Structure 1
Amino acid sequence: MIRALYTAASGMTAQQLNLDNIANNLANSSTTGFQQRRLQFSDLLYQNAVMPGSAATQQTTNASGLQVGLGVRPTTTETMQTQGDFNTTGNPLDLAISGGGFFQILLPNGQTGYTRAGSFHTDAQGNMVTGDGNPLQPAVTIPPDATTVTIGSDGTVSVVQPGQTQSTQVGSIQLALFVNPGGLNSVGNNIYLATTASGDPVIGNPGGAEGLGTLQQGMLEQSNVSVVDEFVQMIVAQRSYESNSRVVKAADEMLQQLNQLSQ
């Protein structure tokens, strides 16, 4: 019964963390480029009263054994790499990636961050930057007198300036692709950092042979969170937490009866 208390408590702790993860998904259901996370669990150690395969007699072995588990623990949060819906904004510097890949962002500490959020602006020098002012890499500078900005599906950035009839290429946007994007480290502000688990980025032009997606100008990728699915998962987590709390209560009542017998 003491074991049941701790086993059920591990289930309650796991479901509390699961609910925290669901809350984060729901809070970011309107965040541009946000990718849903799903919590993964694994069972804990087992106490073996009878080891499976141990000798029952000289001629037979135990087919299944007698094992009692000690609970559950959260192991990882899996990032769901599904494509979010596109929202048309009409802003020429808003970009959505159709397919795989991440935009490359130069962070203040000199590191390269990666993001699916393609809401860009221009700073005082005309450089394309994020809402936090972090520049896009490789750098793309838009002339201040540009009347039209066109970004092709292959990342080519062209502008038309006053007095010109032909567009002029001013830069090219490249994307980064990872063998294991689920291994990226989330640091907030829609930014991921590469890790040894994600592997080194493969850099290339959108739509290239590396499997990179294409760019869609004037659009933003919305969060891939399904609010309906998250509410269902919230109910499941709540019921699981409630079931484990009832196990704690039942074990406590059984211990209370034992104490009364000893009096």
Structure 2
Amino acid sequence: MTWRQEGAAPEGRMDTPGYVILSRLGAQLRATQVLAHNLANADTPGFQAQRPVFAQHLQTPPDGPRGASTAYSIDRATWRQATPGPLTTTGNPLDVALRGEGFFAVETPGGEERYTRAGRFGLSPDGRLVDAEGNAALDARGTPIVIGPGDTRIEIQGDGTIRSENGPLGQLRVVRFEAPQKLRAVGDRLFAAEEAPQPVERPGVVQGAVEGSNVRPVLEMVRMTEEVREFQLATSFAEREGERLQTAVERILRRRG
């Protein structure tokens, strides 16, 4: 979950409606950006749709009437929709998907351990099992999995054990987290964790399949249409508020003149 720092609302009086609508415009812009990001990743394996979380900041003027307050929109967080995506059969023996909770563990070229639901694996030139970005898939001991040139018939069992005609080659490291919403997205497929991962005792590994994105484009387009309409309404209100302030300024100047 990505947390955003809460900002204090301005102390304006005459401009208060303007500040309120500006906070609303910021919220609508953020919601539209999240939806656009979801739509852009509708075909990304293992991608999980994101949803923005907004809150209200209530400000009560010190000399205002009792119980009167102004509500400002605040962008508080972004949470991920953890519903599994659909499984697509590929026929590639190195493609794997998870039926149920958990993440595959991979190691980046910089040596950091990252986590993913996208199990579209292949082989690097040195025989390592790697994901689409070249990150090495890790085994249960936390070391990269290597498949030799003589290992031609690959079988991946439900618990993640990898075997060939020459015997066992390792077991995919599948982990879980107590607070998965706190995972930090690194790109569109990987996550970084602050807490220690826990092994999944009985992972549901499916060979020859890939988990797709859980984004439902039709629903996202409906949400996008609604957010655009809200943004247009807020923009219209901001324009009218600007005209009101301009008229007030002109009246004040005429009186002083």
Taking structure 2 as the reference length, the TM-score comes to 0.86
Q: 1:4 & 1:232 partners in 2: Cα distance?
A: 29
Instruction: Provide the residue aligned with 2:158 in structure 1.
Output: 153
Classify the secondary structure of the residue corresponding to 2:241: helix
Instruction: Provide the residue aligned with 1:43 in structure 2.
Output: 56
> How far is 1:18 from its partner?
1.3
Instruction: Provide the residue aligned with 1:253 in structure 2.
Output: 243
Check the 8 A contact 1:4/1:247 in 2, yes or no. Answer: no
Q: 1:235 & 1:189 partners in 2: Cα distance?
A: 24
> How far is 1:135 from its partner?
1.1
Residues 149-206 of structure 1: CA deviation (Å, up to 9, x unaligned): 1101111111125xxxxxx2221112010111111111115111002xxx3210244x
1:66 aligns with one of 65, 68, 73: 68
> How far is 1:260 from its partner?
4.1
Q: 2:124 & 2:235 partners in 1: Cα distance?
A: 54
1:238 pairs with 2:239 = no
Residues 46-72 of structure 1: CA deviation (Å, up to 9, x unaligned): 224344xxxxxxxxxxxxx22222x21
1:224 pairs with 2:214 = yes
Q: Which amino acid aligns with 1:190?
A: R
Root mean square deviation of aligned Cα: 1.6
1:103 pairs with 2:104 = yes
1:7 pairs with 2:20 = yes
Instruction: Provide the residue aligned with 1:30 in structure 2.
Output: 43
Q: 1:204 & 1:127 partners in 2: Cα distance?
A: 23
Classify the secondary structure of the residue corresponding to 1:6: helix
Classify the secondary structure of the residue corresponding to 2:210: strand
Classify the secondary structure of the residue corresponding to 1:148: coil
Q: Which amino acid aligns with 1:202?
A: Q
Q: 2:211 & 2:185 partners in 1: Cα distance?
A: 18
Classify the secondary structure of the residue corresponding to 2:178: coil
Classify the secondary structure of the residue corresponding to 2:146: coil
Point out 4+ residue stretches in structure 1 off by more than 4 angstroms. Answer: none
Residues 127-154 of structure 1: CA deviation (Å, up to 9, x unaligned): 2111222211123222312231110111
Check the 8 A contact 2:47/2:188 in 1, yes or no. Answer: no
User: Within 5 A, what are the aligned runs for 1:108-127?
Assistant: 108-127=109-128
Instruction: Provide the residue aligned with 1:62 in structure 2.
Output: none
Q: Which amino acid aligns with 2:221?
A: F
Classify the secondary structure of the residue corresponding to 1:9: helix
Q: Specify the structure having the higher radius of gyration (Cα).
A: 1
The size of the alignment, in residue pairs, is 234
Q: 1:20 & 1:226 partners in 2: Cα distance?
A: 16
Which 5+ residue runs of structure 2 have no aligned equivalent? Answer: 1-13
Q: 1:260 & 1:155 partners in 2: Cα distance?
A: 74
Check the 8 A contact 1:121/1:130 in 2, yes or no. Answer: yes
Q: Which amino acid aligns with 2:81?
A: M
Q: 1:123 & 1:80 partners in 2: Cα distance?
A: 32
Check the 8 A contact 1:46/1:67 in 2, yes or no. Answer: yes
Instruction: Provide the residue aligned with 1:194 in structure 2.
Output: 193
> How far is 1:257 from its partner?
3.2
Q: 1:255 & 1:204 partners in 2: Cα distance?
A: 61
